[in-house]
Structure formats: structure tokens, C-alpha cells
Amino acid sequence: MLSKRVEVLFDPKQYAELERVARRDGKSVGAVICEAMEREYLQPSREERKAALKELLSIKLDIGSWEEAKELILRSYLDRFDGCADSRETA
């Protein structure tokens, strides 16, 4: 929930560019500024990213052998493909 307001002054050229980007992206100028601030300053730190990666890599999954995993992947793909063929036949 947004609850804090900030007033920022831009020169006309800067504001025109913000308006151009906002129009291009179908957003408000405020949304463009908030997204830029999030991209630049609110990203996880290197330490946080390393900790998250370490946690992900520590997960133990029992997926069987590589051959079994390949079979599951292939079967899933073929099932979706077969479903598409069935829907075209009934159309």
C-alpha cells in the first residue's frame, strides 16, 4: 500500500522524456519513476542473492535418474501436443 508522497522537480527536458516513456509504456509518469527507483535501488544485495542461490541449490529433489526425467519431460510434451491435435479434430 502506497502511503508516502514525495515532491520531485525536473527540468522541462527531463520531464518531457518521462512523459514520452510513460506514453510509450502506457503508464503514468509516477509509475515510470517508481519502477526506475525499484530497478536502481531496491534490488536484493549481492549477499541476499548468494544466500537465495545457496538455498535453492541445497534443495534435494527425488526425480529419479536422468533417463526417467527425460521420459517424463517427453511424455508431458507429447500429451500437450496430442491435446492440441484433439482440439483441432473436434473444431
The amino acid at 7? E
pLDDT of residue 86: 53
CB contact at 8 A, 35 and 42 = no
pLDDT of residue 84: 64
Q: Which three cell numbers stand for residue 84?
A: 492440441
Unique residue bearing C-alpha cell 491435435: 85
Distance CA 26, CA 32 (A): 10
- List average pLDDT for each run of 10 residues in the chain, which is 91 residues long: 92 98 97 94 93 92 84 88 59 50
- Minimal CA–CA distance to 8: which of 42, 39, 37, 40? 37
Unique residue bearing C-alpha cell 517427453: 74
The answer to whether the pTM exceeds 0.75 is: no
Q: Which three cell numbers stand for residue 3?
A: 502511503
Q: What is the DSSP string of 20-43?
A: HHHHHHT--HHHHHHHHHHHHHSS
